[in-house]
Amino acid sequence: MSGSLRVRNALTNSTASIAGALFATLVLISISDKALAQENEEIDFSAALETRLAYVITGVDEVDRISEAGMRGLTQFIGSRTALEPGDPIGLDVEVDELSFYSFIYWPIDPRAEPPSPQTMARVDRFMKEGGSILFDTRDQISGILGGTSSSPAAQALQRMLSTLDIPPLEPVPSDHVLTKSFYLLDTFPGRYSGGDLWVEATQSNDPTEGRPARAGDGVSSILITSNDMAGAWAVDNTLRPMLPTVPPDPAQRNYAFRSGVNLMMYALTGNYKADQVHLPALLERLGQ
């Protein structure tokens, strides 16, 4: 983490220096220049060494504070209940930070945040195509209900952002999806709110006549969208007490929000592992015959 801060500070504070300006320009005009990346010894590779929960820094302080606290809460929950023991959470600047170290990134959407540049969205697109998953959270399930439509300001901001990307068809998590069984058995994925659906890439139809193009890799959805304010439910203070109440105030809902977080993380790390295990008894049976 300190390494990443160092890089960012170097970028923001020393723009007057020729080297810094040159460096920033180069990053902008040749993001994919691997030779440059190789020479960039300052890279923060701590996230490659241990799994860290990552969130996108929006620039809106209160959102980022909750995101950070949420990741901390979820890190603590995952570490105490599963074999995965994540390191400290990390906030990402999607414009400059190396994304390929992460399998899963939490991205809260706030209409006040600066919309990302096309270059940034290209980086995001590459991240998703190389096997990473992003959970976009519009955190507005309540306002969505009040507004009666999905066109809340945050949802619109998300739509604008995603319009530059090639987004496959989405569907609410079907009841047989791996996400419902990647660690806990779940049928809803609540956060502070419980009314919103979790949207994922539509699973491939079993009907071969439909001729949908085969998806690369293991079919892990590269994009997930919720409006339930997940980080809000996960957020804890320094004494590990919840920072925000759930709506409605129900301890069970918070528990399910954490479980949703565990399943999301396991899904991102183990892929369709749990979908496979349905066939395991038959496979073991066949062994030795």
Partner 1 sequence: MENLNLAFSPELPLWLIVSLSVLIAAFCIYGIYKQLRGSFIRAIAGALICLSLFNPAILQEDRTPLKTIIPVVIDETTSQRLNTREAQTQEAIDSLREQFADLDKFELREIRVRDQISTTSDVSSALFSAVESAMQDVPRDQIGGALFITDGQVHDIPQNPEQSGINGPLHVLLTGEENERDRRIVLKNAPRFGVVGESQEIVYSVEQTGFASNSPVQVTISIDGEVFTVETVIPGEDASFIFDVPHGGKNIIEFKAEIADGEISEINNQTFAALNGIRENLRVLLISGEPHAGERTWRNLLKSDAAVDLVHFTILRPPEKQDGTPINQLSLIAFPTRELFVQKIDEFDLIIFDRYKRRGVLPVLYFDNIARYIRDGGAVLVAAGPEYADVSSIATTPLNVVLPGLADGRVTEEPFVPRISETGEKHPVTRDLDGWNPEKPKWSRWFRSIGVDANGAGETVMVDEEDRPILMLQRHNEGRVALFLSDHVWLWSRGFEGGGPHVQLLRRLAHWLMKEPELEEERLIASSNGETLTLERQTLGEQPEDAIVQSPSGENITLSFEEDAKGIWKAELPVEEIGLYRVASGELSALAQVGPANPRELAAVISTSELLQPVVDATSGTINRISESGIPRIVAIGENATTSGRGWIGLVNANASVLNGVFRIPLFTGLLGLALLLLGFAATWFREGR
- Name the site residues for partner 1 (rule: CB under 8 A): 34, 37-38, 41, 43, 45, 48-49, 51, 80-85, 98, 100-103, 126, 130-132, 181-185, 217-218, 220, 265-266, 269-271, 273-274, 276-277, 280, 283-284, 287-288
Considering the complex, state which of residue 17 and residue 100 has its C-beta at the smaller distance from partner 1.
Answer: 100
Considering the complex, state which of residue 79 and residue 115 has its C-beta at the smaller distance from partner 1.
Answer: 79
d(CA 183, CA 265): 9
d(CA 243, CA 62): 12
Considering the complex, state which of residue 132 and residue 144 has its C-beta at the smaller distance from partner 1.
Answer: 132
What is the token pair recorded at 14?
Answer: 């020393």
User: Is residue 121 packed enough to be buried (19+ CB in 10 Å), middle (13-18) or exposed (0-12)?
Assistant: middle
Considering the complex, state which of residue 18 and residue 35 has its C-beta at the smaller distance from partner 1.
Answer: 35
CB of 274 to partner 1, least distance (A): 6
DSSP state of 53: E
CB of 87 to partner 1, least distance (A): 12
Mark out the alpha helices in 17-112 (DSSP H runs): 18-29, 34-39, 46-49, 61-81
* Nearest alpha carbon to residue 52 among 14, 103, 118: 103
Considering the complex, state which of residue 158 and residue 266 has its C-beta at the smaller distance from partner 1.
Answer: 266
The maximal CA–CA distance of the chain, rounded, in angstroms, is 72
CB of 245 to partner 1, least distance (A): 23
CA 201 centroid distance within chain: 14
CB of 100 to partner 1, least distance (A): 4
CB of 5 to partner 1, least distance (A): 18
Walk across the sheet containing 87-92 and list its strands.
87-92, 52-56, 104-108, 133-137, 223-226, 199-201, 170-172
CB of 86 to partner 1, least distance (A): 10
Considering the complex, state which of residue 101 and residue 193 has its C-beta at the smaller distance from partner 1.
Answer: 101
